[in-house]
Amino acid sequence: MAIIQIPDQCKDPFSFESVIALYQQIITQKAGGLDLSRVSFIDPYSLVCLLLMGRNYLRVTGDKLTLHHLPAHILQYAVRMDFFKHNIFACEQTLEKQKQLQRSQLSSRLLEVIEIPGKEKESVKVIAKVIATFRKRALIILKHWFTMTMVDYLVTVISEICQNIFEHSLDSGFIAIQSYMYLNERIFRIAIVDSGIGIPGSFENMPEITTMSNAKLLESVLTTPLSSKRRYGYGLCQVNAIMEQLKGSIFLRSENAYISVLYHRRVAKGSYIFLKDDCPHFPGTQFSITLIG
């Protein structure tokens, strides 16, 4: 079984498309593992999407993927983010306790990877815990953006997107939150992902939707109060309105399409929307919001 090389494309949702392009090869060829030696940086979105890939592989094959040759700083970050606590990957390396990143106030600019259950009762409890932890750490996480209004807006985003996992995906998912510096930019990112039926699957019983491309459907659920019978579209539409207020950006991917929406004062007409169909297929829905300061 071949070990598949992961490219140094784990910096943001756009670059991670290069890794998703390997997904079918990983699943169908029963890969012997993933080589991460070339990965120089990994963001929260890439981290949780990698978890999805590993979980799907485990479900299909019954075996864990093994991660090989992780650079020391990537291994440190993965351990700090509780990546391995989800028991999805095997890792040929171990991290000595003295080399682990300390969970002090100085390293609290994040919310570790947390699984959002696919069942409502359990999910509601976990989402409440996520929100409580985010509020507790918000002053540090949002150091360069902090206002109480900002926190309330982002709590709404977290609540709406996480609820979609148990209401629509028919699967569990993951959330991770972090603020960090990259290429001299301050970045805040929330990533919420699942590998369920996807947004097109949620609307498959609506005939008027079937004529849309998947990318246009993603645009519709973000920009209009379009809903399936369980109000899927309204939450995403509200999230879009919030990100417009915050002058941030949205990346929404499902199955073989994605939409990127950028709100910024320097953008003509105040917003920029990019749609893409015919992407490499990846099950479920992957969502990210970003603020840059």
**pLDDT tens across 190-199, in order?**
999 999 999 8
Name the domain boundary from 39, 67, 93: 93
Q: Examine the domain organization and report whether 70 and 150 are in the same domain.
A: no
Q: Examine the domain organization and report whether 144 and 224 are in the same domain.
A: yes
User: Would you say 65 and 36 are in contact if contact means Cβ atoms under 8 Å apart?
Assistant: no
pLDDT at 166: 86
* DSSP 8-state code for residue 197: S
Instruction: Find the domain containing 120 and state its range.
Output: 109-292
Name the domain boundary from 93, 128, 162: 93
The pTM assigned to this predicted structure is 0.93
Q: Examine the domain organization and report whether 138 and 191 are in the same domain.
A: yes
Q: Examine the domain organization and report whether 74 and 206 are in the same domain.
A: no
Q: Examine the domain organization and report whether 280 and 139 are in the same domain.
A: yes
Q: Is residue 7 part of a domain?
A: yes
Q: Is residue 46 part of a domain?
A: yes
Q: Examine the domain organization and report whether 77 and 184 are in the same domain.
A: no
Q: What is the mean pLDDT of residues 225-238?
A: 61
Cα angle for residues 174, 7, 95 (degrees, 5° grid): 60
Q: What is the mean pLDDT of residues 221-238?
A: 67
Query: How many residues can be counted in the chain?
Result: 293
Q: Examine the domain organization and report whether 48 and 145 are in the same domain.
A: no
Q: Examine the domain organization and report whether 67 and 139 are in the same domain.
A: no
Q: Is residue 104 part of a domain?
A: no
Predicted confidence band of residue 87 (pLDDT cuts 50, 70, 90):
very high
Q: Is residue 102 part of a domain?
A: no
Q: What is the mean pLDDT of residues 165-192?
A: 93
Residue 225's identity, in one-letter code, is P
The answer, yes or no, to whether residue 96 has pLDDT greater than 70, is no
The tally of domains found in the chain comes to 2
Q: What is the mean pLDDT of residues 217-233?
A: 68
Write b or e for each residue in 44-55: b if 16 or more Cβ atoms lie within 10 A of its Cβ, otherwise e: bbbbbbbbbbbb
Q: Examine the domain organization and report whether 235 and 281 are in the same domain.
A: yes
Q: Is residue 266 part of a domain?
A: yes
Q: Is the dihedral of CA 124, 127, 129, 132 positive or negative?
A: negative
